[in-house]
């Protein structure tokens, strides 16, 4: 079974013998991949919605992996018990929701060792939450699918301080690892901001003017880090 680059990047962070929870599993591709490649032998695949959970369950049953993968209906980590898993995957959701899921179940996060997080939006807000709540991002990579780039983070417990605000927006590990998609990632952020700035350029409201100034300074920061990449 071949995973998409985004799902493969997530699965690649799971170490052998891990006991995994895949929160918001939907299709169930990650649990099935981890079992069929003998990376994990016990997985709890959860979803808050019955439809996606049923999808996952029928895929797992079709592959005959029901013995290794248990499906559970529930919100975030609420359907887990402390010490049940050592690795928690939360992927394909917004950064705010991922942070909320972690924050709402500290009794579960405390007993897990490793978190593999893949926000679709609001990654800066997620990093801010992690740094403010004694998590360390030990690795990060970009996965490319078509023209889209996805941020995938490997996180453990532990205090970490970052010395530049830009590292909330663009993970420091992407720079340290010289991620092969980093330049393209920053360029796409610059393009998005430039588009918004054009739309905001004749704004008359105080709020619009504030946003314009905020985005302009963000653009300068992005351009500076892009220059440093050369
Ligand atoms: C876009 S899918 C992502 C599926 C898969 N994790 C991936 O990365 O491809 C998001 C899934 O998360 C589920 N979900 C949303 N909020 C959730 C929550 N609070 N707890 C558990 N699952 C949730 C949705 O029902 C949906 O199936």
Ligand 1 mutation pick, 47, 73, 104, max ligand atoms within 8 A of CB:
47
Residue 1's pLDDT is 79
- Indicate whether 191 and 102 sit together in one domain: no
Alpha helices by DSSP H, listed for 29-146, are: 29-36, 50-62, 95-103, 106-109, 123-132
Express each pLDDT in 87-105 by its tens digit: 999 999 999 999 999 999 9
Does the predicted model carry a pTM greater than 0.75? yes
Q: Which residue is closest in CA terms to ligand 1's atom 14?
A: 24
Tokens 């740094």 identify what position? 131
The count of domains in the chain is 2
Confidence at 16, pLDDT banded by 50, 70, 90: very high
- Indicate whether 152 and 121 sit together in one domain: yes
Q: CB of 154 closer than 6 A to ligand 1?
A: no
How far, in Å, CA of 25 to CA of 22, rounded?
5
Is there a domain that residue 154 lies in? yes
98, two tokens: 């991922």
Least Cα distance to 49 among 72, 22, 81, 78 occurs for 72
Task: For residue 198, give the 3-state DSSP assignment.
Answer: helix
- Indicate whether 144 and 211 sit together in one domain: no
- Indicate whether 145 and 200 sit together in one domain: no
DSSP designation for 37: T
Of the CA atoms within 13 Å of residue 140, those in its CB half-sphere come to 25
- Indicate whether 76 and 148 sit together in one domain: yes
- Indicate whether 116 and 202 sit together in one domain: no
Express each pLDDT in 108-150 by its tens digit: 999 999 999 999 999 999 999 999 999 999 999 999 999 999 9
Q: CB of 52 closer than 6 A to ligand 1?
A: yes
- Indicate whether 130 and 67 sit together in one domain: yes
b/e for 207-218, b at 16 or more Cβ within 10 A? eeeeebeebeeb
Task: Give the residue numbers spanning the domain of 203.
Answer: 183-229
- Indicate whether 52 and 143 sit together in one domain: yes
Is there a domain that residue 169 lies in? no
Residue 75's pLDDT is 98
Confidence check: pLDDT of 230 > 80: no
Residue 2's pLDDT is 93
- Please state the rounded mean pLDDT for residues 6-22: 98
- Indicate whether 38 and 143 sit together in one domain: yes
């Amino acid at each position: 079974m071949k995973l998409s680059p985004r799902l493969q990047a997530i699965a690649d962070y799971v170490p052998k013998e891990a006991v995994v929870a895949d929160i918001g599993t939907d299709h169930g591709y990650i649990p099935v991949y981890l079992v069929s490649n003998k990376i994990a032998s016990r997985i709890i695949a959860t979803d808050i919605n019955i439809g996606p959970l049923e999808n996952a369950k029928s895929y797992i049953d079709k592959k005959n992996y029901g013995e290794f993968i248990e499906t559970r209906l529930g919100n975030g980590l609420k359907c887990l018990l402390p010490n049940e898993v050592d690795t928690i995957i939360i992927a394909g959701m917004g950064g705010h929701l991922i942070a909320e899921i972690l924050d709402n179940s500290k009794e579960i996060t405390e007993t897990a060792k490793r978190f593999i997080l893949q926000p679709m939006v609001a990654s800066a807000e997620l990093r801010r939450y992690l740094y403010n709540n004694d998590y360390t991002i030990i690795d990060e990579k970009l996965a490319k699918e078509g023209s889209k780039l996805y941020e995938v983070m490997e996180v453990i417990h532990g205090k970490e301080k970052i010395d530049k605000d830009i590292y909330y927006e663009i993970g420091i590990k992407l720079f340290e690892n010289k991620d092969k998609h980093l330049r393209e990632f920053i360029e796409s952020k610059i393009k998005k901001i430039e588009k918004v700035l054009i739309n905001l350029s004749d704004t008359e409201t105080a709020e619009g003017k504030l946003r314009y100034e905020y985005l302009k300074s963000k653009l300068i920061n992005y351009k500076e880090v892009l220059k440093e990449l050369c």
